[in-house]
Structure 1
Amino acid sequence: MCTSDLQEIPKIFYSYQTQSPFSECLVCSCYLLDNQTYVIEKALKKHPGYTAKDVIFDYAICLTCSLKIREQFSKNSLDKINAYFSKHIVISPPSKKEVPINIDSYLDHCIVKKFPIAEITDFQIYAYCHGNKLIQDIPPYLISQSAIEEIIPLVSNKTQNILNDFYDRYFSPDPEMLLPQQPSDQLIFI
């Protein structure tokens, strides 16, 4: 990959936990910052009247693991998802004049619904990266919760189960947090 097709990864795509670029794949733990191509996904929630956003989850997944998971999706689901995006999205690579690309111009609206971010409370952002750089030819994008809610019914039960299993495996709380607390776990002030 030519270095002129890459730019610094914006801080919005840094790990919430470490406040630095993601360094390993969530699934296989391979090191990402040398020569791996990978995707960053971050789900965010805005609260009306406040400028802060809550990060619901964020992760990086290498392209190999991402494709392995996608290969498990039903053909019907993939066809419907691809048709949905083909109908609603026109992606053209940034012009060569726009180097580095203006990240804010790609993340200021839903790529599907075209709603401005000011009107969106729940959304997910995505970036394709290679090593420690963002790939400019695949600009980052934002998908609103309303678009996601249109996509969910398109997937088969099999595909939904795969997605649910992925979420449960990597983002569910530690099962010990769900256990009832023992009286000895609580401090009592008298």
Structure 2
Amino acid sequence: MFYFQKFFNRLESVFLFGAIVCFTIVLGCGLAIAVNPLPSGYRPVDPASPRYQEAQALYVETCSACHIALPPEVLPTETWRRLIEKPDAHYGVSLNQLISVSQLLIWNYLNAYSRPLNIDEPRPTYVAQSRYFKALHPRVELPKPISHQSCILCHPGAKQYDFQTLTPQWDDAP
């Protein structure tokens, strides 16, 4: 009898410990979802999952220090990889000031939300060469030359990483 009592006490302890762990995980996930590290007003095209929110915030903060932070969707994964992995490949500007951990976090975010190239498709260097960018803007007459600064013409909140809000001329666009 004593053996069974000891077994059930141990089983109760394991169950209680499991319940506490589950509660802690659920609470942690809830807090992660409730806390958004991006400043107010940021409305990315595809909001990052809780796993990538800090990396997205780091990407926006780091990249928008020099230019508009483009959504990962507009360039293929291979272009982002080259820009992140080769500090001197960033359009003539050195990214050596990026710390390896920051670089890895930003890469993980870009890798998760960009798209791969098709087989034998050339890797675009600029946004204007990207089929993804063109696919996202099917009926838009784009200015010449296209640059990341051109985004502001139709996306007034682009500097705040808001590519959902459009200028009034696009209100009735299909």
Where on the TM-score scale, by shorter chain, does this alignment land: which range? under 0.3
More helix by share: 2
More strand by share: 1
TM-score of the pair, normalised by structure 2: 0.25
